[in-house]
Structure 1
């Protein structure tokens, strides 16, 4: 008798339509606020009008949906890790984009993003082979800086960026922001099930309702927006490619690679389908495609959303067809300009308050990543401390590089770029060269209990991948 065919792996199983749609919608609701926060914050920082911000939001949702479909279903043997993951705009590119916009304009922002996508395609396979050079010591330091450096952007949305403006640091606005934070905390901590997962979104909606009588909500553009439409390719004109901007966005792509790699490996463990080097390379190609699409459609580079990884772990629903359905929902939302206009009308004070929680969460993810490193090792501690300290300099001392050439200011003015370069270089020097071996031996010889005869520390103590 012929043997019965073995059942498909849970990752490859399709759920009944109603259940699959419900879990897919939950994924969208979990990531939605974080996804649209990026265009909202960038639009405010770049001084864009509401109609343009609405266009960015629609392009953002469309690209996020397309890349989620690619990552979940795969694109032949070319792209897609084929796991239940949801992608969305990364915060890592936000500060460099703002700096590039200030120095060279929006054409350079999207030209450099397009170039970053091309660089990513070239580096996807090699990166999958040299992932050991981006251990938790590097990724944790960078993610910590990503979160902490964006808190200043959130504060600017709450109090304003022009001290001469009549409504700058208005107590009523600060009070509204504090109330939004309290609402989010209440649902996140006291809510149960889906109410806890939607805490940030509920706070965003509640804050917007409270802002209406304060004349902070303007819906003029919603009525003028179409119900259906496509993003406008190269909306800001022909792309430009300043060298410093291209380098900065290429570094952002490397940071995204490291961040997505950690998430894809985690999903592989959760689902019981280990991620091979080929799977990882295809997943990184998916990230790179987001840069290409974003450069053309005026969107943002995507990464795997950690909160959706958490949702997979919590619900134990591991079907990639669920997240593929989420991608289809995001594509549909991206084709509705009226929805983008509605989101663009959200008041900056409320977005800033919600962003405060989201950005701080990113910083805590970085800190939690650093917990995988032996910080009792003085070399690891020094690398992490130096990387975080250097990365926070541009935010702590605004204008410190303003007398440098504009090309240098783009690289030096981004704390994320500085942190990534510092962490990568120091880790490479002290964990992968003879010079580093000698230096570490000297450090340990001078440390109590760390003489030459001391037992070697665990693999993680050397800053390598776990």
Structure 2
């Protein structure tokens, strides 16, 4: 008897392909992941050595979380889909506020509690999956993709709009050249080479950046061969109530973001996530917060740009991202490797990233194609969630940080500062109001006649 052909998600590719495809996933997510420790370290005025420690811990924990998501641990953890985990930006403002008021020991104490909270509520939260139909998940993915284009633009043009070199033609030209390479590789190459298109574009972009003087490999020589901070580097954790509550809110926000991405990966790979699958995936986010609290790192979420990469390349094997997880662990343990990847100029990574972010938005549009828009208010639901949800993404300061809700209480900024959270809450609630509570069929006021 012939053995049954495994599902594409479970296929084990040849070692060489696994390594290259895993490296491609890592290159796509690296800049976004390390941005969190760099922003937090800068805001708290930590010295360079401490920031480097945060970066190493961030990569190490992200690698472990990615491995768990891809491989799974029994019936408790890991969605067993090609999901790459990375530090969530949702945690940045709360961490800075907590550290400024209570110190870093409170940050990591609160993170530990939020991780336990995440493990406890993962399964009940996952039960809400039936309230995430294509109307909700599609709208949320569309918002995720569009809102991430802001950070993508910052990677290309610069993070400070008032800096003299902001929008430098060389940076923008390099990024657009990388986009053109991605398009060319996708159109011309076939088979495995086609799947490596983004990585090929990154490599060529890096080579072009060298004579332009945009690469700085001095950090590679200065970086040590081994470096991972000891657990609780900043001291024994403390647990102020306000800090704990704030971090638990962050966990709920992270779950909302991850839910949309996990559902999207399930649909892209042809293995739709059940509520049990979703519970294991969300529980891994909780585990990452516990690991982060111990190892001086950050809570992780499913990275949207890697969801876009799965859609673009069609590579559905979870073992590819398991390799990515292993590479991230190595980078966390061997700073020299991380320093080399960090030498890739942001405009090069940004050129690929904006395509990946837009792919996430495109997946959202595909989901919305499954929605019935006649004889109901679904167009109205999408319009309100999209319009109001994206407001924080456009109300930015000169550094690209959302300041739309800056005069509101800190806890409300935590919730509403993320376009993803605002859109998720609106799409979720409006879907209930118009399609579940006293439902009745009426012409959509915004539909074409």
TM score, norm. by length of structure 2: 0.79
Contact 1:141 1:366 in 2 (8 A): yes
Counterpart pick for 2:249 among 247, 251, 256: 247
Counterpart pick for 1:87 among 84, 94, 97: 84
C-alpha change, 1:44 and 1:236, in structure 2 (3 Å) is same
C-alpha change, 1:54 and 1:373, in structure 2 (3 Å) is farther
C-alpha change, 1:54 and 1:212, in structure 2 (3 Å) is farther
Counterpart pick for 1:67 among 52, 65, 68: 65
| Structure-2 residue corresponding to 1:38 | 32
Paired with 1:190 and 1:325, the residues of 2 have a C-alpha distance of: 27
Residues 360-394 of structure 1 show CA distances to partners (whole Å, capped at 9, x for unaligned) of 22222222222222233541111111111111111
| Structure-2 residue corresponding to 1:374 | 372
C-alpha change, 1:447 and 1:262, in structure 2 (3 Å) is closer
| Structure-1 residue corresponding to 2:206 | 208
CA shift for structure 1 position 206:
2.4
CA shift for structure 1 position 26:
4.2
| Structure-1 residue corresponding to 2:286 | 288
Matches within 5 A, 1:34-433: 34-42=28-36, 48=42, 58-81=56-79, 83=80, 85-89=82-86, 93-94=88-89, 96-100=90-94, 103-104=97-98, 107=104, 114-230=112-228, 233=231, 241=243, 243-244=245-246, 246-264=248-266, 267=269, 269=270, 277-297=275-295, 298-303=297-302, 305-306=306-307, 324=322, 327-398=325-396, 399-433=403-437
CA shift for structure 1 position 137:
1.6
Contact 2:380 2:444 in 1 (8 A): no
Residues 202-229 of structure 1 show CA distances to partners (whole Å, capped at 9, x for unaligned) of 2223223322333322222211222234
Contact 1:136 1:372 in 2 (8 A): yes
CA shift for structure 1 position 279:
4.6
Q: Which moved more, 1:203-212 or 1:58-67?
A: 58-67
Paired with 2:274 and 2:445, the residues of 1 have a C-alpha distance of: 41
Paired with 2:444 and 2:159, the residues of 1 have a C-alpha distance of: 50
CA shift for structure 1 position 251:
1.7
Matches within 5 A, 1:453-464: none
Paired with 1:372 and 1:361, the residues of 2 have a C-alpha distance of: 17
Gaps spanning 5+ residues in structure 1: where?
451-466
Counterpart pick for 1:24 among 18, 23, 26: 18
Paired with 1:178 and 1:185, the residues of 2 have a C-alpha distance of: 11
C-alpha change, 1:245 and 1:202, in structure 2 (3 Å) is same
Counterpart pick for 1:10 among 6, 12, 16: 6
Paired with 1:325 and 1:449, the residues of 2 have a C-alpha distance of: 48
| Structure-1 residue corresponding to 2:400 | none
CA shift for structure 1 position 354:
2.6
SS of the aligned residue for 2:366 comes to: helix
CA shift for structure 1 position 419:
0.8
Paired with 2:282 and 2:220, the residues of 1 have a C-alpha distance of: 36
Tell me which structure has the larger Cα radius of gyration.
1
Q: Which moved more, 1:375-384 or 1:302-311?
A: 302-311
Contact 1:20 1:322 in 2 (8 A): no
RMSD: 3.9
SS of the aligned residue for 1:213 comes to: coil
| Structure-1 residue corresponding to 2:399 | none
Paired with 2:210 and 2:253, the residues of 1 have a C-alpha distance of: 41
Paired with 1:340 and 1:103, the residues of 2 have a C-alpha distance of: 28
CA shift for structure 1 position 115:
4.9
CA shift for structure 1 position 414:
1.7
